[in-house]
Amino acid sequence: MAGSCGHGVQFEGVSGGYKRALIAVIAINAAMFVVELSAGSIAGSMALTADSLDFLADSLTYGVSLWVIGRPLAWRAWTALAKGVSLAAMGAWVFGATVYQVFVIGVPDAAMMSGIGMLALVANLVSVMILFRWRDGDSNVRSVWLCSRNDAIGNVAVVVAGGAVYLTGTGWPDVIVAGIMAALFLKSSVAILRQSTAELRYARTHADTLDISAAGD
């Protein structure tokens, strides 16, 4: 993954292939949100519930990402900045929910955790493969890749947690996985916020040049 912000040369998403890929990933995420939220509620699993909210957030933010493709750099950077903030908020929510899980909800349904976790993993691996060729780019494009990658990692963790819940007979593995996912959200949030703020500074500093370039297009 590119960690730099070579603003003038980075892929901005202006590609028919990328737009079609993004639409397919949006559809996958929206469908999995419904499936996983229902399963998380039935199983009493905070890891599944947290992952379902990530699917929802991704489907909404990917839609915004699709909308800002081809728009000025500042628009795309502000969109990525909003996604970074939303990831941080989600990480904080998951952290609070893990505390609630420990003291109130109890042991989740291990079989459903693992089964739905596997389904979500397949969905996210498909999304990752669809987006892999576009994993580098501006903050808007890169944030889409980071979210999809995080989802796949999170689903592996949920499946492992389901097995651990079954073996230990406690809800602590579910809580630990939800906490790890919260940390992953926060780490990606920091990466997105850094790149988007750098692009916003660049957009302000080179506003005249960017306006002339846009007019020429």
* Separation between Cα atoms, residue 38 and residue 116, nearest integer Å: 10
CB 85 within 8 A of CB 189: yes
Number of Cβ within 10 Å of residue 17's Cβ equals: 9
Of 141, 189, 182, 194, residue with least CA distance to 53: 182
* Separation between Cα atoms, residue 212 and residue 173, nearest integer Å: 55
CB 52 within 8 A of CB 41: no
Please report, rounded to a whole number, the percentage of residues in the chain having pLDDT higher than 70: 79
What's the chain's average pLDDT?
75
Q: List the domain boundaries for the chain.
A: 16-212
CB 88 within 8 A of CB 194: no
H-state helical runs in 101-138: 110-131
Of 43, 175, 155, residue with least CA distance to 108: 43
**34-92 pLDDT per residue, tens:** 888 888 777 777 667 767 877 887 787 788 778 877 777 777 778 778 878 877 887 77
CB 192 within 8 A of CB 83: yes
Quick check: 4 pLDDT over 70? no
HSE of 52, CA atoms in CB hemisphere, 13 A: 20
CB 173 within 8 A of CB 68: no
Of 34, 58, 31, 48, residue with least CA distance to 155: 48
Length of the chain: 217
* Separation between Cα atoms, residue 194 and residue 107, nearest integer Å: 38
* Separation between Cα atoms, residue 178 and residue 46, nearest integer Å: 7
**83-131 pLDDT per residue, tens:** 788 778 877 777 776 667 656 666 666 677 677 778 888 988 898 888 8
Measured in whole angstroms, how far is the alpha carbon of residue 154 from the centre of its chain?
10
CATH number of 16-212: 1.20.1510
Q: CA-based Rg of the chain, rounded to a whole angstrom? A: 18
Quick check: 181 pLDDT over 80? no
CB 174 within 8 A of CB 102: no
